[in-house]
Amino acid sequence: MERSDEILEIVREIREDIAYMKRHRNMLCGTPVLEVSEVCDLLKISDRQLRRYCVSGQLTGFHFGRRLMFSAAEINRFVERIDTECRQRKELKNRIRNL
């Protein structure tokens, strides 16, 4: 690999990192964190419903100063958990229907 190819590869990696950082402007130790409004937009729920999930223990956020924040990984786990529960309920309904 020539020196110019190495430089181009490094520039490409830097561009990818910049694009990632633009999409996830809030980072904590390299982990993307989301504000309440971003989580609400992502999950298509209200601010109040998001806070209900927190109070019930279904979602865990943290305060950064006065702002409530959520790690992107926590939101992904929440979505997977809700999806799994929904599938289980559908399977149960189908089993009951087939009795």
pLDDT of residue 31: 78
DSSP secondary structure string for all residues of 29-86:
TTEEEEEHHHHHHHHT--HHHHHHHHHHTSS--EEETTEEEEEHHHHHHHHHHHHHHH
Q: Is the pTM of this model over 0.75?
A: no
- Domain 28-97: which topology? Multidrug-efflux Transporter Regulator; Chain: A; Domain 2 (1.10.1660)
pLDDT tens-place string over residues 6-44 = 877 888 888 887 776 666 567 667 778 899 998 998 899
Query: Would you kindly state where each structural domain of the chain is located, as residue ranges?
Result: 28-97
pLDDT tens-place string over residues 30-82 = 778 899 998 998 899 999 999 999 999 999 999 988 989 999 999 999 999 98
Token pair in block for residue 37: 């409004």
